[in-house]
Amino acid sequence: MMKVTVEVMSWLKEDFNHKSQGSLVLEEVVTPGTSIIDLIHLMADKYPKFGKKVFNGQKQELTDYCLVILNGSIVSASAELNTELKEGDTIKFLPFFFGG
């Protein structure tokens, strides 16, 4: 088993039943070989409100609900979602902003 940090930013915290100021920081224990997408599925199962927004339909595709950031770098390609996590990695969920 290994630990990774999940940081939930801004209003996304409400989907994790957290309403206080600042970001929400969670320590998640995962098995070696767990990928970013596996972690997102795990978080979606633990926090159904988040799961309903982050996936289209039957958890087949991610929506543009939030950005996924691994150790400070945006995960921009779907192939990067299969990146295996390492002990001590940090994943951030940041709201996807639209502007005009």
pLDDT, block means (10 residues), the chain with 100 residues: 95 89 92 96 95 82 90 90 97 79
Buried b (16+ CB within 10 A) or exposed e, 35-50: ebbbbbbebbeebeeb
- CB count within 10 Å of CB 91 equals 21
Residue range(s) defining the domain that contains residue 77: 2-95
Q: Give domain status of residue 87, yes or no.
A: yes
The count of structural domains within the chain is 1
CATH code (residue 47):
3.10.20.30
pLDDT at residue 63, rounded to an integer = 87
pTM equals 0.90
pLDDT at residue 65, rounded to an integer = 87
pLDDT at residue 47, rounded to an integer = 95
Q: Give domain status of residue 64, yes or no.
A: yes
Q: Give domain status of residue 13, yes or no.
A: yes
Q: Give domain status of residue 100, yes or no.
A: no
